[in-house]
Chain A
Amino acid sequence: MAVVSLEKISKRYTGASGHLAVDNVDLNIADGEFMVLLGPSGCGKSTTLRMIAGLESITSGVLSIDGRVMNNVAAKDRDIAMVFQSYALYPHMSVEENLGFGLRRRKIDNAEIKRRVKATAELLGLADLLQRKPHALSGGQRQRVALGRAMVREPTVFLFDEPLSNLDAALRVNTRNELIKQHHRLRSTMIYVTHDQVEAMTMGTRICVMNGGRVAQIGAPLDVYWNPADTFVARFLGSPPMNLFNTQIASAAGGHLAENAFLRAPLMRWQSGTLQGMAGKAAIFGVRAEDLHLESDAVPGQKHGSIKGRAFAVEPLGAETLLLVETEPGVECTARLSRHLKVRPGDEVELVFPTEAAFLFDSGSGRAVGSDRS
């Protein structure tokens, strides 16, 4: 178990491009925490993980594990284990040899290696596969061997680099649950890289959303989901992504409004004082797809905002239906509605949402305007 600390960590690749892959990342991962690094391809999350692993040099900043500076410590001496996206099983070795490979290097007694390999194999349901070579295993079995190879070492920190990406959907859910179970059992510090928000939301104690090499936001999954720091996080977390619209802030009798040609939203989550300076100025207004309802389904008497447009696609998903609405040419809005939806493409619709479902972002920086009320 270990505390992992990244202080102003940067990575600039040498060479003609001099690409800055990771830029001033500050991150503290508590003992036993399951931290998920989440972001799109090329955001620097894997590079950050590889720097923690010691597979990538650190250009600047300090990396420490349990207070010990690790910048120049070799990967093998960091007491970490890593599970790779490709599993990285040694193809010429049996499952048993793969599991014991790291232990043999550490001059551990043969009987102890056998005991640990056997225990890990039994825990992960690999006991019958010990003599098989990786090519004779299914994707899920390979994944478990990769996990077992990390577990058998009993490291202080586990690193996962998109370990579920190569699995099919059903197996991914199973393995995800298996990982959560193992985390509860081992109580080890785990750092997990993914671009899949569902994995991040379901597995992480906290998530660290990265964009363009920088940390966009760190927090508990639901906290990040409901209080996104900027428009990037707001769009990246959530499927379908949050609807964002360019609006103007206007003063009205009952408070402030965000409005444009097709949208009108009372801003009840913010106190008047907060919005005073924004009156008459542009702002980005956001609302999540699941907070939108058809006007006919609105709760009578409740204050709500509204969006008008023309439905152009209806996507039934079984349990629910996605309604895609064009509010004005080039501007779209997605609503997650009941599976009994009667709307047809081409229909004019009015979508409503409760005032507490509103998000507001600065139109220049994209930063969230923090709400004063829940």
Chain B
Amino acid sequence: MITTSLPRLFSRGTLAAIIGLYTFYTLAPFVWLATMSVRTTGEISLDHYAWPKPFHWGQFRSAWIDSDFATYFWNSTIVVTSAVVVVTLIGAAAAHCLARFRFAGNRLIYGILFSSIIFPPQITLISLYQILVDYNLYDNLFGLTLVYISLQLPLTVYLLEGFFARIPQDLFDAAKIDGYGDIEIFWRIVLPVGMPAIATTLILNFIQLWNEFLFAVVLITDPSKRTLPIGIRGFMGDHFQDIGLIATGVMISVIPVIVVYMFFSEKLIRGMTAGAIK
């Protein structure tokens, strides 16, 4: 009698308790990190979980100015923003072509793109390293941007293709009869109509790349070119870890993610729950 017992099991109260528990489970580490970001390493060593007293707001200043945090932050911003913009534009255009136009090899290209999602990124690391060295792009932010684009493009195309394929053909036909060409249809119809899906991939790509560590640590050596995850790792010494400063750094690095999420969250939810476009 599963059908009758399930509604009872998931009554409002139970659901609220589960959601509350889950929220606590995900939010607690963040709150803990937030409290540590305004405490000194000494205070943290004495009591890991104590409430900040006093609030050392100066830690943000010293992380930003006294260490090279500002440099790491701007490096990350430039690399990730340009990679996300390029990935979104190229990914949307490619997804539109794959979803809309019949041409020889359409499914083959799609298959190759899809297969590249399956492989773990570590597989490509050595070959990418060699390619960047060959083209003088090793230890270069532009090189890292290109790598990020290639990393995120397949998943972006895959996600957008699925959404774009559900846009009714009649919309394109109507725009054609209204006098618009393929490129204009892409700009004026596909991008606005596909915005929920585009926002979804944009947030996913931004978070993924903002936190990316593996490729950045291998492909960048110059301290002035470090991105945030590598920069934060720099606070960890062999014998001493400045936990307070690390927490402050992580808090700073989280801010853009929260801003991007808040800006696109409505569209993200629409993208994730989107059914057929009517």
**A positions within 8 Å CB-CB of B:** 50, 53-55, 74-76, 80-82, 84-88, 90-92, 101-102, 105-106, 135, 149, 153
Contact = CB atoms under 8 A, between A and B. Distances in A.
Contacts of A105: 178-180, 184
Nearest to A81: B177
Main secondary structure of the interface of B (DSSP, over half): helix
A50 B177 CA distance: 11
Given A92-B193, A105-B178, A105-B179, A82 B171 contact: no
B107 interface: no
A84 B178 contact: no
B192 interface: yes
B43 interface: no
A101 B178 contact: yes
A76 B168 contact: no
A81 B171 CA distance: 13
Contacts of B6: none
Nearest to B168: A86
A88 B173 contact: yes
A75 B180 CA distance: 10
B179 A76 contact: yes
B197 to A, nearest CB: 13
Nearest to B184: A105
Contact of B176 (A55, A86, A153): A55
A153 B178 CA distance: 9
Most chain A CB within 10 A, of B178, B180, B189, B277, is at B178
Contacts of A76: 176-180
A82 B173 contact: yes
A135 B170 CA distance: 16
B53 interface: no
B177 A90 contact: no
Nearest to B195: A92
Most chain A CB within 10 A, of B173, B192, B277, is at B173
B178 A135 contact: no
Contacts of B192: 92
Contacts of A55: 173, 176-177
A226 to B, nearest CB: 36
Contacts of A74: 176
B123 interface: no
Contact of A88 (B170, B179, B180, B195): B170
Nearest to B191: A92
A88 B193 contact: no
B16 to A, nearest CB: 32
29 contacts: A53-B173, A53-B177, A54-B177, A74-B176, A75-B176, A76-B178, A82-B173, A82-B174, A84-B174, A86-B170, A87-B170, A88-B168, A88-B171, A88-B173, A88-B174, A90-B193, A91-B193, A91-B277, A92-B192, A92-B193, A92-B195, A101-B178, A102-B177, A102-B178, A105-B180, A135-B278, A149-B174, A149-B178, A153-B178
A46 to B, nearest CB: 11
Contacts of B177: 53-55, 75-76, 80-82, 102
Given A90-B189, A90-B193, 11 more contacts: A54-B176, A80-B177, A84-B173, A84-B174, A87-B170, A88-B170, A90-B174, A91-B193, A91-B277, A92-B192, A101-B175
Nearest to B180: A105
A102 B195 CA distance: 22
Interface string B191-216: 01101000000000000000000000
A3 B171 CA distance: 27
Interface string B154-177: 000000000000001011011111
Interface in B121-139: none
A255 B195 CA distance: 75
B274 to A, nearest CB: 11
A176 B175 CA distance: 25
A55 B177 CA distance: 8
A135 B174 CA distance: 17
Contacts of A135: 278
A80 B175 CA distance: 12
A84 to B, nearest CB: 4
Nearest to B174: A88
Contacts of B176: 54-55, 74-76
B199 to A, nearest CB: 13
A74 B278 CA distance: 27
Contacts of A86: 168, 170
Contact of B170 (A75, A85, A92, A102): A85
B170 A84 contact: yes
A268 to B, nearest CB: 51
When A and B form their complex, which 6 residue pairs have the shortest distance between CB atoms, in order from nearest?
A102-B178, A88-B170, A105-B179, A88-B174, A76-B179, A92-B192
Most chain A CB within 10 A, of B168, B170, B177, B180, is at B177
Contacts of A92: 192-193, 195
Nearest to B189: A90
A90 B168 CA distance: 11
Contacts of B174: 82, 84, 88, 90, 149
